[in-house]
Amino acid sequence: MLTIGHGEVRTDSDHKLVVVMVGLPARGKSYIVKKLKRYLSWLGFQTKIFNVGDRRRLAGSADEYETAGEDLQRVGRKDSGEAPCSGCSSPGADAQTAECAQCETRHSSAFFDPDNKKARQIREQVALEVFEDLLRWLQAGGQIAIHDATNSTIERRHALISRLKCETDVNLMFVESICTDRDIINRNIKLKTHSPDYVGIDPEVAEADFRARLRNYERAYRSVGAAEEKLDVQYCKIIDVGKKVIAYNIQGFLESQVVFYLMNMNLEPRVIYITRHGESEDNAAGRIGGDASLSANGSKYARALARFIDRRRLEFAVEVEEYNRLVAQTICSTASSTPGTCSEAEGAVSPDSAADALRLEQSLLRRRVQPGFEVWTSMLKRTMETAEFFDAQRYRIKNIRSLNEIYAGKCEGMTYQEIAQKFPDEFEARQLDKFYYRYPGIGGESYADVVMRLQQVIVELERI
């Protein structure tokens, strides 16, 4: 059962959830978790992302560590006596190379070689340190923590599973992002050349190094599957940006919210305008709720809004054409250059020239964005009247009851002054906690109630 508490959404069991991301680099994991975190936070869950890459960049190079038994101990930088590199002010590296042994924010592809034992130990150690930070945050009152890392080996994942066995009321769920679409991967790799790992590095050098890093990861990568199923661990796999979603052993309420969103997530570019309705007669009188028509000023606003969106619709059509042109240019350039790397675990193959041409044509058609505008309103007169100046031949207008304004129960149609006089206790309670305060009377709502009824609308926005 779901209950609304003061300051957060709670479930009756008070269980907490750790979402552990899995997948090769350039598969959109960090982008996915940012969208997921925003959605869960909007629902009222205390959610936080713990990024292992950020901590890893502060861990220094393998040269700064010495073995202490089975553990590694950081001993600090070794002074090479060389001049600092121009890219990071650290000695021992040229700004045009990805190798910078003394820089805390830069690790070359060699650092991710699975045969590099010391570097591998550092990476495992950093991942577990971040996991400990995550658990401490949950113990301090957090509800959903996301471990944002590759976690691409069975050994790493088993270490996290074993650590979590010591915690009570904390569930674990793996979310793996798999991508076999080379165009998406190549675009993501281009973005990676602008990451903190490659500050001050020539883009071509950075891309070559990142592709080498990716090949190193692929050598050790094992997808979530039988090893986790033997332990009855919950997991969800997102394949090719949501074209296919696999869910295994999903049991908890929090987990179901995660899977629900991932199944409806959309990563295509869109433009969404959010506006209030024009001024209503009740607005002018200072009354809340109700179902009044627009005032004269409200009608004036409605006309101006329709003119503004008409202009933006034409401008957006131009922007869409430019976007489609850039997509086609990117796909054509990557098709004629180095093929995107995909692991055997993700089922990638190298196409011949005929198949490559077919793939290119299909990719262009699939990614071409078609401009289209919809206008959504609530079922209240003031919102439908605000949309009445939109041309129904150019815009699809939808009236959605879930978008109705918060219902004030017994206080509908009253001014705040009248509420303070007639219901002084209710007025005071609302001042103390506006988000969770629920208006008295049949059907009276809180803003938290509104958030819950808007969940389907948010999902519909994602699916556009």
User: Tell me: the pLDDT tens digits for 435-453?
Assistant: 999 999 999 999 999 999 9
**Residue pair 237/23 in contact by the 8 Å Cβ criterion:** no
DSSP state of 407: P
Tokens 């090769």 appear where?
Answer: 24
Query: In 10 A of CB 182, how many CB atoms?
Result: 21
59 has pLDDT over 80: no
At 168, the amino acid letter reads T
The backbone torsions φ and ψ at residue 415, rounded to the nearest 5 degrees and listed phi first, read: -85, 165
Active-site residue (options: 85, 103, 179, 342): 179
Tokens of 279: 């001024």
| Token representation of residue 227 | 């090893």
User: What digits encode the pLDDT tens for the residues 247-305?
Assistant: 999 998 999 999 999 998 877 767 889 999 999 999 999 999 999 999 999 999 999 99
Q: How many residues would you count in the chain?
A: 464
Better pLDDT: 321 or 148: 148
In this predicted model, what pLDDT tens digit does every residue of 183-226 receive, in sequence order?
A: 889 989 998 988 888 888 999 999 999 999 999 999 999 999 99
pTM of the model: 0.75
Q: Which two tokens stand for residue 460?
A: 């519909």
Q: What is the predicted pLDDT for the residue at 93?
A: 39
From 277, 279, 282, 445, the catalytic residue: 277
The predicted model gives 310-321 an average pLDDT of 83
Q: Has 277 been annotated as catalytic?
A: yes
Contact indicator for 396, 309 with CB cutoff of 8 Å: no
Name residue 291's amino acid.
Answer: D
Q: Does the structure show a pLDDT above 60 at 71?
A: no
Nearest-angstrom CA–CA distance, 117 and 71: 12
Tell me if residue 179 is catalytic: yes
107 is a catalytic site residue: no
Identify the DSSP state of 9. Answer: E
14: left (phi over 0), alpha (psi -120 to 50) or beta: left
Q: Where are the alpha helices (DSSP H) in 274-352?
A: 281-285, 296-335
**Angle subtended at Cα 370 by Cα 368 and Cα 373, rounded to the nearest 5 degrees:** 155
Distance of alpha carbon 457 from the chain centroid: 18
**Mean of pLDDT values over 374-381:** 96
- Model confidence at 182, pLDDT cuts 50, 70, 90, reads confident
Beta carbons of 163 and 18 less than 8 angstroms apart: no
- For 448, phi then psi, to 5°, come to -65, -40
Which one of 148, 176, 346, 445 is the catalytic residue? 148
**CA pair distance 371, 320, nearest whole angstrom:** 7
Is 148 catalytic? The answer is yes
The residue from 8, 405, 433, 462 that is catalytic is: 405
